[in-house]
Amino acid sequence: MAEITTAQIRNVALIGHNGAGKSSLVDALFFTAGGTTRQGKVDDKTSFSDYEPEEQRRGSSIQLSVLPCSWNGNRINFLDTPGYPDFRGDMLSAVRVADSVIIVVSGASGIEVGGQQAWQYSQDLGIPTAIIVNKLDRENSSFEQACADLAESWGRQCVPVQSVDGSAEAFTAVTTGELDESVIEAIAEADDELMMKYLDGEKLTPAEITSGLKAGVLSRDIVPIFAASAASNIGTTEILDSIVDLLPSPNDVEAPEVPEGAQANFVFKTSADPFVGKLSYFRVYGAPLNSNTPLWNANKGEPERVAQVYRATGKETSGVDSVIRGDIGVLSRLSHTQTFDTLGEKSSEFKLGGVELPAPVFALAVTPRAQSDLDKMAESLSRMAEEDPTLELERNADTSETVLHGLGDIHVELAIERIARKFDVHLDTKLPSIPYRETVGGQTSVSYKHRKQSGGRGQYGHVVLEISPGETGKGITFGSKVVGGNVPRDFIPAVEKGIRNAAVDGVVAGYPVVDVSVMLTDGSSHSVDSSGMAFEIAGSMGFRQAVRDARPTLLEPVMKLRILAPDSSAGDVMGDLNTRRARIGGMESKGNGLTEITAEVPASTIQRYAADLRSLTHARGDFTAVMDHYEPVPPQAAQKVIASRRSGEEE
């Protein structure tokens, strides 16, 4: 591509429902712009945008990709994003560095869940937006009907700026011709001077219409609707023209205030490649980034050595001398940098804001399939979590499991597949163990005497313990009221050690005992046979006996659940929650056809809730679950947990 200026750059993120044809459209635009001699297609696995094997197998995107196009002396950086909700982290990353978004809607299917969510997100973010109605060559598709539906659902600012020849199978062309009077009026409303001219009955010139449209798009008073068929490559030339003419450059939108002349580069994507190493995709917000430029990671407080700067085109990268302000590039093999870090200069320590990502809602415990996998498991999991920051890795101290958290079942399962392909590490998975607890419901006193004689010096330790329910969240509290030296002072720490060791492994089902107060009240010793070990054993066994006598209770973690569901699905969601032992906290209309439901629900009943809610709400629901507290498990459910635990121990 020839040398360009920031004013000639368009950073455009394509967002929308899974299956609306975003990747196919990017492939068609890339082909039309001369980026390739053949049009890539998702269906035959030749897409330049969906190039990962998992994407080719699924026939849909699972990560964002960057395809730059050269058009009429301008550079359009297309950021193709996944439409499936499990991968919306990449969509959020793409929009973070875009100056405008295009929502892709299927002309055959109309407004779908992902499109509605994309619209709401663009509204919340306040980013200039356009719409492409794709697949207009499909049966039952109609550009006119789609435009009417969009205006009705999303507002009269959504206006068609093109007309089409034919519909469905007869769809043959897109023209940018005479606009409807309603569109001209919308354009005039976006500019005071044009409005005066329009009210005076004067006709707007083509140049005024274009400038008015661009001003309206920038102010979000106008959302232009374009027409296309990616599969037939119809409308792509007109879309490329319109992107250059109507969508903003980095100069047109509000930008972070960067110290003058300073480096400020934001990393929005990381790719872990076993052959070329780690790739860091970035956008320049400050001075141009040249090859062989020293950088400072302001987030990590570490220097980074930059040798070569690259430009990405799908999975391919090519070396360039410089990446100017507003443009997108790639760096390789950075030592400290992760997604959402700022690379600048040590003198300024300037940081660019990151991205607020959704919290994980699904998890799998992972174990290595073979010894060779064990050796590489931790590193491969860490590298995958670095590539995708919506994945979170946890070593659960309560269950001793390595747990991978993500935005849904498909998200986590595909991450495991990618680890096997990229790093040759094979992992087995299962739902994580629930970290139950044990406690006591009453108080009791026990006297336990440990005595052993087998020739020579024996063992003798005698303790009297009182236990009762303790303060929530305090674990095991221990004290001593021994008087007269019945338990020698030197042996009291051994008694406490035995109690705490016994508490770790539990009494009822092998889960840790918590929130219990233990008091050593009396005991006895032997001048020869008593020892720290003897009193440790006495403390351990006495504690276990006391717990069994003090109404032992199994505790379960309870989550605070917040659900957003369509009004039409709220009843089904409520009914389903009642089957999960949930306590409903509230139900409130949030507008936009959504209802918020809050509830407290046992963690054991919602381990697969991401998939269940997707089914209940036709993929339109969303939820967050946060650990809130522990409470007793109902007797019938407790018996099942205990039986399952004991069965597992026997195996």
**Cα 216 to Cα 184: distance, rounded to the nearest angstrom:** 11
Asked if residues 507 and 549 have their Cβ atoms less than 8 Å apart, the reply is: no
The CA distance from 584 to 563, in Å, is 11
Instruction: Check if the beta carbon of residue 404 is closer than 8 Å to that of residue 415.
Output: yes
451: number of Cβ within 10 Å = 13
Largest CA distance in the chain: 117
Q: Which of 650, 459, 642 is nearest to 556 (CA)?
A: 642
What pLDDT is stored for residue 178 in this prediction? 77
Dig out the tokens for 521 from the structure.
């009240």
Tokens of 320: 């360039």
Token code pair at residue 532: 């720290």
pLDDT of residue 397: 87
Give which of 361, 370, 372, 356 is closest to 407, Cα–Cα.
361
Write down the pLDDT at residue 525. 93
What structural domains does the chain harbor?
Answer: 6-246 (3.40.50.300), 264-344 (2.40.30.10), 362-430 (3.30.70.870), 438-550 (3.30.230.10), 555-637 (3.30.70.240)
Q: How far is it, in rounded angstroms, from Cα 384 to Cα 415?
A: 7
Provide CB contacts within 8 A for 609, sequence distance 6+: 361, 623, 625
In a 3-state reduction of DSSP, which class is residue 49? coil
Q: Shortest CA distance to 350 belongs to which of 360, 363, 361, 341?
A: 341
Residue type, 474: K
Q: What is the DSSP string of 161-195?
A: --EEES-GGG--EEE--PPPHHHHHHHHHT-HHHH
CB distance 566 to 593 below 8 Å: yes
Question: What pLDDT score does 350 carry?
Answer: 87
Instruction: For 578-633, give the DSSP string.
Output: HTTT-EEEEEEEEETTEEEEEEEEEGGG-TTHHHHHHHHTTT--EEEEEEEEEEEP
- Distance between CA 621 and CA 449 in Å, rounded? 59
525 close to 486: Cβ distance less than 8 angstroms: yes
10-residue averages of pLDDT along the chain (651 residues): 87 95 96 91 90 90 95 97 94 97 94 91 95 94 93 93 87 83 84 87 88 93 95 95 97 91 95 84 96 95 94 94 97 95 90 92 96 93 93 92 95 96 95 95 96 82 96 93 91 97 92 96 92 96 97 96 94 96 94 90 96 92 92 93 77 46
- Within 10 Å of residue 151's Cβ, how many Cβ atoms? 17
SS3 33: coil
**pLDDT at 651 (0 to 100):** 46
pTM to 2 decimals?
0.88
Show the tokens assigned to 458: 């024996």
Element containing residue 419 per DSSP (H, E): helix 409-423
Edge to edge, the sheet with strand 309-313 lists 302-305, 294-297, 342-344, 264-273, 277-284, 328-332, 309-313, 316-320
Burial of 462 (0-12, 13-18, 19+ CB in 10 A): buried
**Are 33 and 76 spatial neighbours (Cβ–Cβ below 8 Å)?**
yes
Strands 158-160 and 223-227: parallel
Question: DSSP character for 360?
Answer: P
How high is the pLDDT of residue 255? 87
Q: Which two tokens stand for residue 38?
A: 């053949």
Residue 558 DSSP label:
E
